[in-house]
Structure 1
Amino acid sequence: MPPTVLVLIPLPPENRAAIAAHFQIVDAPTPTSRDHAITQHADQIRAVLTNGTTGLTPDEISRLPNLELIGALGAGHENIARDAAKARGIVVVNGAGTNDDCVADHAFALLLATVRRVPFLDRACRAGVWRDELPMQPNFSGKRLGVVGLGNIGRKVARRALGFDTEVGYHNRRPQPDTPYAHFDSVIALAGWADYLVIATPGGAATHHLIGAEVFEALGPQGYVVNVARGSVVDTAALADALAHGVIAGAGLDVYEGEPSPPPLLIDSERVVLTPHVGGRSPEAMAASAALFVENATRHFSGQPVLTPV
């Protein structure tokens, strides 16, 4: 019998079918079904498929005596109890690289929509408001883009910026010598230089509220910020205050603190474009993520090294 995989996230039918072709699946996409599935199928479950937001707790790992593999569908893995997994010798993998293009595309969609105020103008047009009654928005091109986190997604964001005649700088924990972009040794220094700031850094304790009041002050009243990383990276209260007092010009968020509920401090602001953590979701990205999980799990259960260990 194929190994049993506990799936803790909703999957499109075609992606579920791709996994079910190789493994037994126990679906548990809600908290109630999750607890029930772990209780009823604990001895059978050898792998868990989750994501960075949904995660897997130390207690849940302790309740699965035959667990060997935890997979994150997508690059994020911040809420998976990796220390508990490591202590048991459980392999953790992610979907690194499978949705990078999708996230980078969405980052630019948010940035363009925010700078040019597309949602606001759409509502005005539908209400019969003509352009002469509306404020003009700045050019998008010919500006400076700062990328916080020059990993795979950050590099793809930077590459897209070049098509808009945009100068690129970045902040990373370590300089990347193989890139042509200017490196800044702090986020504040990068924000002071940039017109746009795109956040593409990993989540977790090390980056909690990395983007706060000082960064917004440095970015300035003509500056825009976009977050496609994790909601915890941006201090929501500081962002709301910065927008309310004109400290920055606007923000685009695909991720935010308190997901899945929209951020109460921001939902009434005309200067914010919000999307519900969909930056990495497309049919192509989901199919690639499911296929990578199947490949990782197949390799693991046949005694081969996995492709994307965390």
Structure 2
Amino acid sequence: MKPTLLMAPQLPQGLVTQLEAHYRVLGPFSPNDPTALPVGAEEAVALLTIGGLPTRAALLDALPALRLVACYGTGYEGVELAACRERGIAVTTAGDANATAVAEFTFGLILASARCLLQGDAFVRSGRWQGNAVERMPQVPGLAGRRLGIYGLGEIGRRIARRGEAFDMEIGYFNRSPRAELDYLYHGSLLELARWSDVLVVAVRASAETVGAVDAEVLAALGEEGHLVNISRGSVVDEEALAAALEQQVIAGAALDVFAREPEVPERLRQQPNLVLSPHVAANAASAQQAQQQVMLANLEAMVQGGELRNRIA
């Protein structure tokens, strides 16, 4: 008899097909309502989820056979780790499987915001481009010699930093603690980093401590030539404060791949011409998706066979 897996979100069909060859796959379902589980969920030995979805004690209690919570991506902020440890349930993530894809996408957002790529596209499409002598796009500072501040220097943050070096940017960061092995300028607070930065990238892991961390004070410190890029989680940025900062030209621009209540994007943000919007697709590269899927498949096999789990956090 195949082991039973419970899938919270709809995972990529190619992965589901591979899973169904070895497991009985139930779901998707809403983890917000543990009383509305699929028939047979009590037999599930593994829960397949993503970090932004809640995996709370009540859900774990409804799954008595559960041995593993496998997060498809790198986040795990929705998983109640203490409850998992108490019940002897392992928790894994995809580790750095998508870090390169996210880092390269981040620089796409940096360029789109700081070099006004979307404004240039609209300028040409509108027919206003009649040659440089008639009407020109406004000049921008560029990136070379500018300061790239990274809030959260984990696997993704470090890859963003390396790409910033290739653009001849100075690199600074704020982390829970300095990374002594890296030759970048450490700042003692997010506010201090924002004051220093020309481009501030949010790459920190989502947690209760980081909710709303990028607030009106941080945005004011970033300043009128500054750009904010968020590829972390929408919860880290105060969206009302960001909308106000863009409206009042407190900062020059911003680019967001993540939002607080996805897929909802506040109308006030959608109306900002100096804001680049992206539908949470930084990791949507074939290489990254395949790598994430291989980690999940390997961890499920290890759970069944009694092997060592990869990227275990609990």
**TM, length-normalised to structure 2:** 0.93
Indicate whether 1:115 and 2:118 are aligned. Answer: no
Partner of 1:56: 55
Task: Give, in whole Å, the separation in 2 of the partners of 1:49 and 1:85.
Answer: 14
Tell me the amino acid that sits aligned with residue 294 of structure 1. L
Identity %: 37
1:265 counterpart SS class: helix
Mapped to 1, the partners of 2:61 and 2:6 lie a distance apart of: 15
Distance apart, 1:32 and its partner CA: 10
Q: Which amino acid aligns with 1:94?
A: T
Residue 151 of structure 1 corresponds to: 154
Runs ≥4 in structure 1, deviation > 3 angstroms?
29-36
Structure 1: any 5+ residue segments left out of the alignment? none
How far 1:188 sits from its partner (Å)? Answer: 1.0
SS at the partner of 2:267? coil
1:309 deviates by 1.0
Contact 1:257 1:263 in 2 (8 A): no
Q: Is the CA contact 1:5–1:23 (under 8 Å) kept in the aligned structure 2?
A: yes
* Residue in 1 that maps onto 2:185: 182
> Does the residue aligned with 2:240 lie in a helix, a strand or coil?
helix
Report deviation, 1:239.
0.8
Where do residues 83-102 of structure 1 align in structure 2 (5 Å cutoff)? 83-102=82-101
C-alpha distance in 1 between matches for 2:38 and 2:28:
12
Residue-by-residue CA offset, 1:15-70 (whole Å, 9 max, x unaligned): 2223333322113156799865x241123211111101224233222111111111
Give the distance between the partners of 1:144 and 1:32, measured in 2 at CA: 42
TM-score by length of 1: 0.94
Amino acid aligned to 1:225: L
Deviation track 1:133-172 (CA, whole Å, cap 9, x = no partner) reads 5323332222110011110000000000111111101111
Looking at structure 1, the residues matched to 105 and 34 of structure 2 have their Cα atoms a distance apart, in angstroms, of 31
What is the match of residue 235 of structure 1?
238
Q: Would the alpha carbon gap of residues 289 and 153 (structure 1) be closer, same or farther in structure 2, given more than 3 Å must change?
A: same
Alignment of 1:157-196 (within 5 A): 157-196=160-199
Q: 1:195 is aligned with what amino acid? A: D
Count of equivalent residues: 309
Aligned to 2:247: 244
Q: Secondary structure at the match of 1:197?
A: strand
Letter in 2 for 1:202: R
Structure 2 equivalent of residue 291 of structure 1: 294
Determine the structure 1 residue equivalent to 2:220: 217
How far apart are the structure 2 equivalents of 1:31 and 1:128? 49
2:225 and 2:252 in contact (8 A); partners too: yes
Q: Is 1:197 aligned to residue 204 of structure 2?
A: no
5+ long unaligned stretches in structure 2: none
Report the counterpart of residue 45 of structure 1 in structure 2. Answer: 44
Paired with 2:286 and 2:15, the residues of 1 have a C-alpha distance of 9
Return the letter of the residue paired with 1:78.
E
- Structure 1 distance, partners of 2:228, 2:235, is 15
1:15·1:286 contact (CA, 8 Å) conserved in 2?
Answer: no
3-state SS, counterpart of residue 70 of structure 1: strand
Match of 1:137 in 2: 140
Residue 301 of structure 2 is aligned to residue 302 of structure 1 = no
Q: 1:106 to 1:244 in 2, by over 3 A?
A: same
- Comparing 249-258 with 126-135, greater Cα deviation is found at 126-135
3-state SS, counterpart of residue 125 of structure 1: helix
Structure 2 CA distance for aligned equivalents of residues 35 and 157 of structure 1:
42
Given residue 235 of structure 1, which amino acid in structure 2 is its aligned partner? D
Tell whether 2:18 aligns with 1:21: no
Q: Confirm or deny that 1:263 pairs with 2:266.
A: yes
Q: Check the 8 A contact 2:233/2:259 in 1, yes or no.
A: yes
Query: Quick one: which amino acid aligns to residue 217 of structure 1?
Result: A
**Is the 2:92–2:312 contact (alpha carbons within 8 Å) kept by the matching residues of 1?**
yes
